[in-house]
Amino acid sequence: MSACPDQDELLTLYAAGALEPEEASRVRTHLESCAACRSEVEAHHEVLGLAALPPPSPREQAVLAALPRTTVSVWRSEQVRQAARMRTAGALMAAAAVVLLALGPVVLRHVTPRTTSAAPVETPASSSEETSSDLEQWALTDPLSDALELAEADLDDAEAGDESWDLEPEDVLSSPNPGESL
């Protein structure tokens, strides 16, 4: 005698204790009237009893009880290590910034070629005195033309054999005035 085919899945779930209360009551009602389904549920109980895990040992219980503390401890130690790495990186970046601020003007002074100062650009004294012709005149000025003329003159000097351009890098770094021959 076999169990009712429409009840097979419900019987397995009932034996495992995985049914909702109203479904479990319907299956119990059916089991009272069907002997084949009762024997099927008993067989499922036996099989599930064999597959059940044994109770945890005292050592396993201690490990499970300590799990939250150990997890938090590991997390905190990782946070401390990460904070130490961040502090170290920040200190290194701060030290690099200090070195750049201290050495930046010295290096730039020795590396940049000397140029003559360009004429300052005139700015209007107030907006009420500005006229459209002054604004047009200002817009037509080329502030880079003087710098371009100076660069071309320096290039011409270099092509003509000016000794100030024949410096080695160590001469530039040791010279008190850039462009000055040693």
Please give the structure tokens belonging to residue 71.
């997890």
pLDDT tens for the 182 residues of the chain, in order: 577 888 888 888 888 888 898 999 999 999 999 889 999 999 988 888 777 778 889 999 999 899 999 999 999 999 999 999 999 999 999 999 999 888 887 777 766 566 665 555 555 555 555 677 777 777 677 666 666 677 777 777 666 654 554 555 555 455 455 554 44
Domain extents in the chain: 5-51, 58-174
- pTM here is 0.31
Question: What gap in Å lies between CA 27 and CA 44, rounded to an integer?
Answer: 14
Q: In angstroms, how far is CA 143 from the centroid of its own chain?
A: 43
